[in-house]
Amino acid sequence: MPDWTDHGLRAAEEPLQIVFSTEQIDRRVRELAAEISAAYEVRDRLLVLGFLKGAFIFMADLVRAITLPHQVDFLVASSYGPGEVSTGEVRLLYDPASSLEGRAVLVVEDIVDSGTTLRLLLPRLQARGPSSLEICALLHKRLDAVEAEPRWVGFDAPNVFLVGYGLDHGEDFRHLPYIASL
């Protein structure tokens, strides 16, 4: 087992504070997968659509635990630059190739913060004619009321900058097996 105590940081930097442990995340992902599996039927033709890059680890664990047949695709959107605050501008860098027409679509998001990404991209997805469009977010900061509230949420998150389990700061820290505050 790797030694994560220094988190790959230089000695001069502050250590990370673990917010959600590996065990808490594993347990909650299995619970979410069970809830999602119970909510859909095979005839729904479920498409799990993940936001890259932040949701890739969460989504990988989630889709392996969902017990009904489903397909996977991704989209890449960005509203963060190198900083810790959203720019408020969302750029769609990769649009999913899968047909959404008549499909049950589950959007997997790493964190709902300002809600900007979901607010701007969900209408684009809805215009493609899915039979249903739901959201599963690993983390939700609940800062403001968001227009598209996730149906499934892994954890309510504190209003701090979080890294690990796919979440990054300047592309660092995604590899951590837990979620920590920076």
Name the token pair of 140: 């939700």
Q: What pTM, to 2 d.p., does this model score? A: 0.85
Is the pLDDT at 118 greater than 50, yes or no? yes
Strand duo 104-112 + 162-163: pairing: unpaired
Is 2 in a helix, a strand, or coil? coil
Residues forming beta bridges with residue 34, ordered by sequence position: none
- The Cα–Cα gap between 46 and 130 comes to 10
Catalytic annotation present for 144: no
Q: What is the pLDDT of residue 89?
A: 66
From the CB of residue 114, how many other CB atoms can be counted at a distance below 10 Å? 15
For 9-64, the pLDDT digits (tens) are 433 355 799 999 999 999 999 999 999 999 999 888 899 999 889 999 999 999 99
Please, what is the angle between helix 56-65 and helix 22-39, to 10°?
A: 50
Is the pLDDT at 1 greater than 50, yes or no? no
For 21-32, the pLDDT digits (tens) are 999 999 999 999
Is the pLDDT at 102 greater than 90, yes or no? yes
Dihedrals phi, psi of 56, to nearest 5 degrees: -65, -40
Q: What is the pLDDT of residue 180?
A: 97
* Percent of the chain's residues with pLDDT above 90: 62
- The Cα–Cα gap between 77 and 159 comes to 22
Which CATH architecture does the domain made up of 17-78+91-181 adopt? 3-Layer(aba) Sandwich (3.40)
114-138 average pLDDT score: 90
Listed in sequence order, the DSSP H helices in 21-172 are 22-39, 56-65, 116-126
Residues forming beta bridges with residue 136, ordered by sequence position: 108, 152
Question: How confident is residue 82, by pLDDT bands cut at 50, 70 and 90?
Answer: low
Picking from 92-96, 101-105, 151-155, which range would have the lowest pLDDT averaged per residue? 92-96
Q: What is the pLDDT of residue 11?
A: 35
Q: What is the pLDDT of residue 18?
A: 97
Q: Which of 61, 110, 113, 168 is catalytic?
A: 113
* Percent of the chain's residues with pLDDT above 70: 82
- The Cα–Cα gap between 182 and 43 comes to 43
Residue type, 74: F
Q: Do residues 133 and 107 lie in contact, with contact meaning Cβ atoms separated by under 8 Å?
A: yes
Is the pLDDT at 72 greater than 90, yes or no? yes
Q: What is the pLDDT of residue 81?
A: 52
